[in-house]
Structure 1
């Protein structure tokens, strides 16, 4: 998984909520399931150190080194002097290759957040009450319930009489001000929209904290509020169920990557898989680009004897060479073979002539499939669908593809209209988010095109 961005989720809560205890249990459970887990701890105090006076690395830093790497067999640590505080997104980007990164803290990072509220913590009890009050009164989920709690209770934990009505008024007035600001920004638009249960809709859109995806709590009022807001609530001690949720929504799914190598290409004049590219068979480039994100790697081909060299070239990958099930040529029969050969529920299918095929895009499509529940996640651009750098849910797509084949269809996307298949279009903006360099769908059909792509790679 080297250089492939890691998905991440954040566990947030107040001081003494038990975040570290929960995270340790969650990491243990996810690792026991075979996942590679990274972690980030947000330390709120300035000046912490993981080295001690007298150690050689400490002396390096004391001498003025702005960055020191401590390396030993099986371990490495890096200490770097920063101006200000590192953004959570930058930290996670610096940790590629994990199935999931579990972050402690960084509430405002933009990551999906799991909120922890524990009955043994008085601050959590007050926030849970504010959370429940907000749910009952229709306050937006983005409301900062920690701040609301400070308005509802004295420092000693006593309820402030009339605080709820005052908050309603404040939220409504803030909504009016927000509407006026929007009117000033967009003259001619209605200045005030209808307020709903004390929260102006324009204000609700501006509130922080909308990334809450779940609550972990043993406080009944918090559980009631979560139900009203329509977000799942998990028992504080049921780590297995919480891990199920994280695994199904955020962990990088297990993916079979299928490279479709086919056989002889009329326009290329020979097999695309074995045509030289920068001095090596083109298929080797595809294997190297995609194997880091493959839990299982399959190459569909009509010339398996000519590709057995891959077993010697990449002995660690256990590559399957699979012949097409159907004798007839066509994109759809090849896709059916690919889905049949896969060992995992998610199947990424990529054409062997896509010189810039992207592992990062494969991961982004798999995570999108996780989050949307789609059966197909297919990039779409001005040229239409790109079915040969797309993600397929194996068991749901197989029967639909078979029905299309029985109708005599040959085009890969001909089964997208099947009522049993949910297709999610992955726009170009999302493609570039995953692979900023772009070019993922460029393919080589002729020797001239292949040489042009070689020049492009050589130039940078």
Structure 2
């Protein structure tokens, strides 16, 4: 009999294939408190999962010590293409895993209990999606690895690119995460750094947290 999965027995994928138009440069590698922003995401997520990879084009990121998975769909097909690359990789490398956790590369304040709360809501074939402050975050989701073939077929149509459109075709549940109190006010745990102003705010929050 196989051992039951724990929160730490799930693989995770950081989605870093965005175009960063509002930042004006690749936001995943901008300097935040002395290291690339994606390194903060890695630090928050690594203790919570069994394995970690990043979806990005070949050569786009500095060496951060985790596998880089390029899209398997040609062209820039958006975050769903990254999800597909992660599902295929997880199916081949971790056949015992039932789900894959995905997060974006621009969320340096991910909850430390993200995986535990998400995996507590697993049911076969159900997608688990994070919410906070009344907003749904379809990029922060727990995906059944069994959906890989369905997603690959879905992405065969170039009009099928929206995360939420794919999710609505399957059973799903949302898990809400409360804001985090900081010296400058409540912080959305999925605060994402899209602009130079966002980057300045993230830098300030990290300064406030330093001893």
TM over 0.5: yes
SS of residue in 2 equivalent to 1:444 = coil
The separation in 1 between residues aligned to 2:139 and 2:26, in whole angstroms, is 18
The normalised TM-score by structure 1 is 0.40
Q: Distance in 2 between matches of 1:365 and 1:410?
A: 24
Q: Which whole-Å CA distance do the structure 2 matches of 1:374 and 1:459 have between them?
A: 41
Counterpart residue number, 1:400: 150
- In 1, distance between residues paired with 2:134 and 2:50? 30
1:298, 1:341 within 8 Å by CA — same for their partners in 2? no
Find the structure with the greater CA-based Rg: 1
Q: Distance in 2 between matches of 1:382 and 1:373?
A: 27
Normalised by the length of structure 2, the TM-score is: 0.82
Aligned length: 197
Which protein has the bigger helix share?
A: 1
Structure-1 separation of matches of 2:131 and 2:142 = 13
Alignment deviations for residues 261-315 of structure 1 (CA, whole Å, 9 cap, x no partner): 115412111112211101111111111110001211110101x32435213xxxx
Q: What's 1:445 paired with?
A: 194
In the other structure, the counterpart of 1:309 is: 63
Deviations 1:343-366 (A, max 9, x none): 332211000001211241122101
Higher relative contact order (CA 8 A, sep 6+): 2
**Counterpart of 2:191 in 1: which secondary structure?**
coil
Instruction: Tell me if 1:456 matches 2:205.
Output: yes
User: For the structure 1 residues 307 and 402, does the alpha-carbon distance in structure 2 shift closer, same or farther, using more than 3 Å as the test?
Assistant: same
Aligned residue in 2 for 1:425: 174
Could you tell me how far apart the structure 2 residues matched to 1:336 and 1:374 are?
16
Give yes or no for the alignment of 1:300 onto 2:55. yes
Q: Could you tell me which residue of structure 1 aligns to residue 99 of structure 2?
A: 346
- Cα pair 1:252 1:366 within 8 Å, conserved: yes
The answer as to whether partners of 2:132 and 2:190 remain within 8 angstroms in 1 is no
Equivalent residue number for residue 167 of structure 2: 416
Residue of structure 2 equivalent to 1:47: none
Aligned-pair CA distance for 1:255: 0.7
CA distance, structure 1, for counterparts of residue 133 and residue 202 of structure 2: 21
Q: CA-atom RMSD, angstroms? A: 2.4
- For structure 2, which runs of at least 5 residues remain unmatched after alignment? 182-186
| 1:334 Cα offset (Å) | 2.0
